[in-house]
């Protein structure tokens, strides 16, 4: 699967454990030129250091997905420097910590709004920004979790946000398909990342997956990276509006 000559934007790299980083690495190895974003100066150095290991020059740009002006500036800069885009990897998600530990019924309006804005609406905003740059068709890829469909301990409002995200994937796929822009999601099994560490009892969830998933082990970020490469490559040219599970088969189990 080659991405030679392709240009991609990747959001959601916080550190080397980030799922977005696993996809970025595979995309770069497959020949793609990348723009990577960071949210706030705190993470800029991390992202620059990681990008330096890719062996090809990447564009590093700020983007807080809650700020329309930053999203607009991001795509203006990409147009200026890269000319066009072939794929976008969306790996941004956030919910306030208390919303991931208190009972779901306690979710405040503010926490609900913030989780849905950052974790779901951002895909719509990015799709709108990317659309005019995807002059030769393209692929949008986001990351979701089984908590969108089933109740998992403490996933709470993030599950609601992921349900909205998965539904957005289907509506965007219908809107953008006529321009040969595909929109898909990977539903990843739990992987110990910075975002995952914010979910109370996350280690216990890892243990349950190891015990009950058909493959009897936890998901590795590299597995998400490989499937990400597949979905953004020509090999997946017939797939859109899809949620593809990379979770060792856990989602098929009833008990
Ligand atoms: P991660 O490394 O912490 O990545 C989450 C990213 O979202 C971080 O780079 C974070 O930046 C960014 N983000 C948060 N708020 C943002 C904002 N306002 N604007 C721009 N970026 C923002 O964790 P991850 O696990 O790889 O998460 C990536 C995606 O995979 C998420 O959608 C997550 O829900 C999904 N996922 C994860 C798992 C898992 O078990 N790890 C399983 C299934 C799906 P900051 O650090 O600056 O906040």
- Tell me what pLDDT residue 6 has: 98
Among candidate residues 198, 211, 210, 205, the one with its CA nearest the CA of residue 158:
198
The whole-number average pLDDT for the span 77-93 is 98
Helix (H, G, I), strand (E, B) or coil at 56: coil
- Tell me what pLDDT residue 1 has: 85
Nearest-atom number in ligand 1 for the CA of 219 is 40
Average pLDDT, the chain: 97
Cβ atoms of 238 and 181 within 8 Å: the answer is: no
Q: For the segment 156-201, what is each residue's pLDDT rounded down to a tens digit?
A: 999 999 999 999 999 999 999 999 999 999 999 999 999 998 888 8
Domain range summary for the chain, segments of one domain joined by +: 7-250
CA–CA separation, 50 vs 231, rounded Å? Answer: 23
Q: Which of 94, 121, 145, 171 is catalytic?
A: 145
- Tell me what pLDDT residue 148 has: 98
**CB < 8 Å & 24+ apart, contacts of 57-60:** 57/33, 58/28, 58/33, 58/34, 59/34, 59/35, 60/35, 60/36
155 is catalytic: yes
Minimum mean pLDDT among 54-58, 77-81, 131-135, 143-147: which range?
A: 54-58
| Residue whose CB lies within 8 A of the most ligand 1 atoms, among 50, 165, 193, for a mutation test | 193
For ligand 1, whether the C-beta of 12 sits within 6 Å is yes
145 is catalytic: yes
Q: For the segment 221-235, what is each residue's pLDDT rounded down to a tens digit?
A: 999 999 999 999 999
The share of the chain scoring above pLDDT 70, in percent, equals 100
Q: Which CATH number fits domain 7-250: 3.20.20.150, 3.40.50.720, 3.30.70.890, 3.90.550.10?
A: 3.40.50.720
């Amino acid at each position: 699967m080659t991405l030679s000559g392709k240009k991609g934007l990747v959001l959601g790299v916080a550190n080397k454990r980030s799922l977005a980083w696993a996809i970025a690495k595979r995309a770069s190895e497959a020949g793609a030129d990348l723009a990577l974003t960071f949210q706030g100066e705190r993470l800029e150095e991390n992202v620059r250091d990681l990008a330096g290991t890719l062996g090809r020059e990447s564009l590093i740009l700020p983007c807080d997905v809650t700020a329309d002006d930053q999203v607009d500036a991001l795509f203006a800069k990409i147009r200026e420097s890269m000319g066009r885009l072939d794929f976008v990897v969306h790996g941004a998600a956030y919910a306030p910590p208390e919303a991931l530990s208190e009972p779901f019924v306690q979710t405040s309006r503010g926490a609900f709004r913030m989780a849905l804005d950052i974790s779901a609406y951002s895909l719509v905003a990015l799709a709108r920004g990317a659309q005019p740059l995807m002059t030769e068709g393209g692929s949008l890829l986001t990351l979701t979790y089984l908590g969108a469909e089933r109740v998992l301990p403490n996933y709470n409002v993030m599950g609601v946000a992921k349900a909205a995200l998965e539904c957005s994937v289907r509506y965007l796929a219908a809107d953008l398909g006529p321009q040969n822009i595909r929109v898909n999601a990977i539903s990843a099994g739990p992987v110990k990342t910075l975002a995952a560490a914010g979910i109370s009892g996350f280690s216990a969830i890892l243990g349950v997956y190891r015990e009950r998933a058909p493959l009897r082990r936890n998901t590795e970020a590299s597995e998400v990276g490989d499937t990400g490469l597949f979905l953004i490559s020509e090999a997946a040219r017939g797939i859109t509006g899809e949620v593809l599970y990379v979770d060792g088969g856990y989602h098929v189990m009833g008990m």
